[in-house]
Chain A
Amino acid sequence: MIDQKPILEVSNLCTTFRRGGVDLPAVRDVSFSVGQGEVLGLVGESGSGKSVTLRSILGLSRRYGDVTGEVRWLGQDIASMPERKLRHIRGREIAMIFQEPMTSLNPLLTVGMQLTETLKAHTDLNRAARRDRAIEMLDHVGIPSAASRLGEFPHQFSGGMRQRVMIAIALAASPKLLLADEPTTALDVTIQAQILDLILSLADEMQMGVILVTHDLGVVAQTCENVAVMYAGRVVEQGAVRQVLGAPRHPYTVGLMRSVPQNVPPRTQLYSVPGTPPSLEALPVGCAFASRCQNRTERCLTARPTLDAITDDRRVACFNPVAAEKAGAA
């Protein structure tokens, strides 16, 4: 399935925002790649930099802060590409869907308008053809009587339906990569699975790569081939899903795994990683996870571990990684 040559290569991506004279390092030295048709999971707590990473790939962060590093799309660096050129890649080759279907659609424009304007920007279709394609897309993402709903406004759709509309808009121009920023978090639990299935089946059908940002490890285990775990703006562990989730090496990944209820008897208290992540404006000198880590040593407080390869395609940023066999038991 997976093409040998990656379509997207992100290396040493750093995004810094400035608030009230203080630099906030939202993303630090993030590197990963996505192959054609590959589904990559990006996991972490709120504020770990997952969303900012996605937005930085598409150049949406640079209005608000400083973005450095390389984002290679089909061999071309798009991180430094001027807005005018970049807009032909946005939506046409790389599309993105957002977390909040309630606020991500313009409340004053009809759904049809918001769908066809994408087509107008990226295709040569005439007005009638755009309309046909819009109906086809809405139909494709499972919106009943699509033709009659083109003239309706976002507030006339339910949350799940709005998320379907957003997917239809994002995929209208048949992109090769989809950046999905927690696409199911804001939805009812019953709808979540439907939307996720929809995204994955469409990705499969269109041979489209997906970067799925989520904090749900269960979703990652079911859907992704590779995963990167982020903490306080950095990737702390990455590799194939089977290995990372099967035998986590970073104490934080272990903690995340333990907080997913698996085969527990009813009424047991759920585990959660103790403590809270450090604030971005006051990151410690050493490892950002040290204050919450049980394997902490003196060294963790004074130096920051780099993301090093422990096997071929497996990387961990920890001085005292959890032993492979022990981790499996946790």
Chain B
Amino acid sequence: MSDISLSESEATKPQKTRLQIALRKPGFLIGVAIIGFSSLLAIAPGLFAPYDPNFIDYNAVRQPPSWAHPFGTDMLGRDSLSRVISAYTVNMQMALLATIFALIIGVTVGALVGYYRGVADMIFGRFVDAIITFPFLVLVIAVVAVLGPGLINMYIAITMVGWVYYARLMRAEVIAQMGNDYSAAGVVMGYSDRRIIFRHLLPNAITPVIVYWMTDMALAILLGSSLGYLGLGAQPPQAEWGVLIAEGRNFITTAWWLSLMPGVAIVLTGLGFSLMGDGLADLLRPRG
């Protein structure tokens, strides 16, 4: 109930217990474990893959799951498990490369227009309105159409559209933070703009952006594999989950395992990122 003593006692809790609470949540731990293991698979897929993912064996085409091939083999006789594992490199890379540049550009632009306001901010506002008028996927697909299909172009396309969302969030946070007294104090003390932005505003305003980044990484994997499936992202024979699912599509009634297994990897990794993101949000979010 809205008893004042309750909220007071919560506010006086030391920072340490918040980490302890986050660590006690099974969701957060599961998320960290999934992402930790996924990163390991991404860095050293060779350690875990039982076969060479590109080894073609026409004598063992579309074999159902067995002890020798736990996920079966594909239409070229390649080992599906090895291909799903080797795809970790590309798909985990997606989570990072499709988001990190958008994060950097967005944070910078958002902080600048939020701090200086004026004409630049007005133009930015209209621009954001225009961008959010397009469905995300439609705009990304259109940019991919301009640049041509492929992984790198896909990263560029997602970055070109995605930075706007980071910038919008960052701008709002900077403006909220500037309402606080300490940045006003910074101006009174005669600090340079750069010092105020980078030393005072950024560290405080960035928390929600980092939380958003976590969910965005989960979305990047979903988006990247969707584009791979549609033929606009990674291109065969590259092992990528969306591409693998698309390759198995034609054999879906006879060799269902080809499409099913890469999807499980997508769901697991996406789940890992969103669980980790939720836990991080609890950890970083200031409590009111």
Interface residues of A (CB under 8 A from B): 17, 19-20, 24, 26, 46-47, 49, 51-52, 55, 61, 64, 277, 279-282
Q: Does B181 contact A (CB under 8 A)?
A: no
Q: Return the chain A residue nearest B21 by Cβ.
A: A20
Residues A281 and B9 in contact, CB atoms below 8 Å apart: yes
User: Which residues in chain B, 1-32, are within 8 Å of chain A measured between CB atoms?
Assistant: 1-6, 8-10, 12, 21
Residues A279 and B12 in contact, CB atoms below 8 Å apart: yes
Residues B6 and A277 in contact, CB atoms below 8 Å apart: no
Which residues of B sit under 8 angstroms from A19, Cβ to Cβ? 6, 10
Residues B10 and A47 in contact, CB atoms below 8 Å apart: no
Residues B5 and A277 in contact, CB atoms below 8 Å apart: yes
Residues B6 and A280 in contact, CB atoms below 8 Å apart: yes
Main secondary structure of the interface of A (DSSP, over half): mixed
Residues A24 and B6 in contact, CB atoms below 8 Å apart: yes
Given known A-B contacts A17-B6, A280-B9, A281-B9, A55 and B1 have beta carbons under 8 A apart:
yes
Which residues of A sit under 8 angstroms from B9, Cβ to Cβ? 24, 279-282
Interface centre among B2, B3, B10 (most CB of A within 10 A): B3
Which residues of A sit under 8 angstroms from B10, Cβ to Cβ? 19
Interface residues of B (CB under 8 A from A): 1-6, 8-10, 12, 21
Residues B1 and A46 in contact, CB atoms below 8 Å apart: no
Residues A61 and B1 in contact, CB atoms below 8 Å apart: yes
Residues A46 and B6 in contact, CB atoms below 8 Å apart: no
Give 26 A-B contacts (CB < 8 Å), ordered by A residue. Answer: A19-B6, A19-B10, A20-B21, A24-B6, A24-B9, A26-B3, A46-B4, A46-B5, A47-B3, A47-B4, A47-B5, A47-B6, A47-B8, A51-B2, A52-B1, A64-B1, A277-B5, A279-B5, A279-B8, A279-B9, A279-B12, A280-B5, A280-B6, A280-B9, A281-B9, A282-B9
B93 to chain A, nearest CB (A): 39
B24 to chain A, nearest CB (A): 9
Report the Cα distance A49→B3, complex, angstroms: 8
Report the Cα distance A46→B8, complex, angstroms: 11
Residues A17 and B1 in contact, CB atoms below 8 Å apart: yes
Considering the complex of A and B, which 3 residue pairs feature the smallest CB-CB distances, nearest first? A47-B5, A279-B9, A46-B4
Which residues of A sit under 8 angstroms from B8, Cβ to Cβ? 47, 279
Which residues of A sit under 8 angstroms from B1, Cβ to Cβ? 17, 26, 51-52, 55, 61, 64
Which residues of A sit under 8 angstroms from B4, Cβ to Cβ? 46-47
A28 to chain B, nearest CB (A): 13
Which residues of B sit under 8 angstroms from A17, Cβ to Cβ? 1, 6
Interface centre among B1, B8, B10, B21 (most CB of A within 10 A): B1
Q: Return the chain B residue nearest A281 by Cβ.
A: B9
Q: Return the chain A residue nearest B10 by Cβ.
A: A19
B148 to chain A, nearest CB (A): 52
Which residues of A sit under 8 angstroms from B6, Cβ to Cβ? 17, 19, 24, 26, 47, 280
Report the Cα distance A19→B287, complex, angstroms: 14
A210 to chain B, nearest CB (A): 21
